C-alpha cells in the first residue's frame, strides 16, 4: 500500500503535482501564521519600549489579536474610488503579496529542504525582490490621489536606490562562496558561529540590514508612509482585503529579507556550535531562531529611531552605502585573490 502511494507520488504527473502543491502549502501556511504573529510581536515590542502593555485583551496575553484584526479587515467593504483605475488598483496589492510569497521557493529551510534548489538562487531572490516596487508604484498611480502618488514615488525611488547596495552586498558574499546556490552559501559557513560571514564581512552585514530596512519601508526609512505628510502613502485609498494584502506582503517581505540575511551572514540552518545537531528539523529551528532575532531588531529600530529626511535618505544610499559597498567588493576580491582563498567551484 505504502509502495503504491509512494510510486504514484513520485512518478505519476498528478502525484508530482500534488507533492508540489503540498510543498507550497507547507511553506506558505507557516509563513502566513508567522506574518500574523509578527504583527503581534511588533506591537508587543513597541509596547515594552514605550512602557505599555501592547495588545492584551483578545485571548490569553492578546494572542488572538492578529486573527481579530484579520477578521475585521476581511469583513469590511472593499472600496474602489470612483476616479481610480479599477483593474490596476486591485492588481497592485496582488503583485505585492505574490512577489513576497514566490520568493520563498528558493530559501533553504534545512539541509536540502527547499522547494526549488536552483543554481541561481540568489539572483532569483534579487530579481523577485526588485519586483516588489511595482506593487507600490502601480498602487500609487492607480489610486489617482496626490498622497498616494507622492508616497509611491518616494517609495519607488527609495527601493531602487537601496537595491543597488544590496546587490553589491550579495556580490561580496558570492565571491566568498563561489556559487549562486543558496544551499551552497549555507554549507560554506559550516562549523560554528565563528565561520559565519557576519564576522569577516561585518560592514556588509550592517549595510545589508540598513538597506533591508529601507527596502521594506520601515523606520527610520518609512517616508513613503510618513503620516504627518502623506496620510498613509500609497496605501491611502485602500481598504479591507486589498489593504490587508499590502500589509501581509510587507510583513512577508520583512521576514524574507531577514531569512536572506540569516542565510547570507548568519549561517542559515547551521547550528551556532559545531557539536549541536543541524540536520532536518533542527535546521529549521536554528533558521527560525535567526530570523526571529533579525525581526526583533526590525521592531527594536522602529521603536527607537526617528524618521530620516528625504534628502538624508538619498544621501545615505548613494553617497555612503554605494561607494563603501563597491570598495568592499574590490577589497574582498583582492583579499581572496592574493590570500589564496578563492573558492574552488
Partner 1 sequence: MVLQALAFYLFAAVTIASGAMVVVSRNPVYSVLFLILAFFNAAGLFVLIGAEFVAMILVIVYVGAVAVLFLFVVMMLDINLAKIREGFREFLPVGTAIAIVLIVEMLWAVGVIGTRSPTVEAFNKAGPHVATIDNTRAIGQLLYTQYFYLFQVAGAVLLVAMIGAIVLTLRSRPGVRRQKVGEQLYRSKADAISVVKVPSRGGV
- Write out the residues near partner 1 by the rule CB under 8 A: 13, 88, 118-120, 123-124, 126-127, 130-131, 133-134, 137-138, 141, 149, 153, 156, 160, 163, 180, 311-312, 315, 345
Our CB check for partner 1 shows the closer of 55 and 108 to be 108
CB of 86 to partner 1, least distance (A): 13
CB of 134 to partner 1, least distance (A): 7
DSSP state of 318: I
- Of 219, 306, 304, the closest CA to residue 254 belongs to 219
Our CB check for partner 1 shows the closer of 161 and 299 to be 161
Strands (E) in 20-70, as ranges, are none
Our CB check for partner 1 shows the closer of 31 and 166 to be 166
Three cell numbers written together for 254: 520583512
CB of 272 to partner 1, least distance (A): 31
CB of 73 to partner 1, least distance (A): 27
- For 178-193, letters b (16+ CB in 10 Å) and e give ebbbbbbbbbbbeeee
CA atoms of 234 and 247, how far apart (whole Å): 12
- For 112-137, letters b (16+ CB in 10 Å) and e give ebbbeebeebbebbbebbbebbebbb
CB of 52 to partner 1, least distance (A): 33
Our CB check for partner 1 shows the closer of 115 and 131 to be 131
Our CB check for partner 1 shows the closer of 76 and 309 to be 309
Grid look-up 484584526 returns 69
Three cell numbers written together for 41: 510581536
Amino acid at each position: 500500500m505504502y509502495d503504491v502511494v509512494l510510486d504514484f507520488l513520485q512518478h505519476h504527473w498528478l502525484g508530482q503535482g500534488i507533492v508540489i502543491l503540498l510543498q507550497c502549502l507547507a511553506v506558505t501556511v507557516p509563513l502566513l501564521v508567522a506574518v500574523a504573529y509578527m504583527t503581534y510581536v511588533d506591537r508587543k515590542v513597541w509596547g515594552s519600549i514605550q512602557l505599555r502593555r501592547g495588545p492584551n485583551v483578545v485571548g490569553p496575553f492578546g494572542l488572538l489579536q492578529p486573527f481579530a484584526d484579520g477578521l475585521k479587515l476581511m469583513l469590511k467593504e472593499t472600496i474602489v474610488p470612483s476616479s481610480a483605475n479599477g483593474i490596476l488598483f486591485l492588481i497592485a496589492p496582488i503583485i505585492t503579496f505574490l512577489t513576497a510569497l514566490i520568493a520563498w521557493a528558493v530559501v533553504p529551510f534545512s539541509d536540502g529542504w527547499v522547494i526549488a534548489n536552483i543554481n541561481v538562487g540568489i539572483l532569483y531572490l534579487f530579481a523577485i525582490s526588485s519586483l516588489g516596487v511595482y506593487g507600490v508604484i502601480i498602487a500609487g498611480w492607480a489610486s489617482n490621489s496626490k498622497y498616494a502618488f507622492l508616497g509611491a514615488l518616494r517609495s519607488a525611488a527609495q527601493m531602487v536606490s537601496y537595491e543597488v547596495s544590496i546587490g553589491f552586498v550579495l556580490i561580496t558574499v558570492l565571491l566568498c562562496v563561489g556559487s549562486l546556490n543558496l544551499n551552497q552559501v549555507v554549507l560554506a559557513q559550516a562549523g560554528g558561529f565563528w565561520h559565519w560571514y557576519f564576522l569577516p564581512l561585518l560592514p556588509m552585514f550592517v549595510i545589508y540590514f540598513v538597506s533591508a530596512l529601507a527596502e521594506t519601508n520601515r523606520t527610520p526609512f518609512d517616508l513613503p508612509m510618513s503620516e504627518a505628510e502623506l496620510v498613509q502613502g500609497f496605501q491611502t485609498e485602500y481598504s479591507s482585503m486589498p489593504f490587508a494584502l499590502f500589509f501581509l506582503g510587507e510583513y512577508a517581505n520583512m521576514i524574507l529579507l531577514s531569512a536572506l540575511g540569516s542565510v547570507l551572514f548568519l549561517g542559515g540552518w547551521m547550528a551556532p556550535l559545531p557539536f549541536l545537531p543541524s540536520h532536518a528539523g533542527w535546521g529549521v529551528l536554528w533558521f527560525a531562531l535567526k530570523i526571529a532575532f533579525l525581526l526583533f531588531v526590525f521592531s527594536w529600530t522602529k521603536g527607537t529611531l526617528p524618521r530620516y529626511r528625504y534628502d538624508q535618505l538619498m544621501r545615505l544610499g548613494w553617497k555612503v552605502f554605494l561607494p563603501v559597498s563597491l570598495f568592499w567588493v574590490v577589497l574582498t576580491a583582492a583579499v581572496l585573490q592574493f590570500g589564496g582563498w578563492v573558492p574552488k567551484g
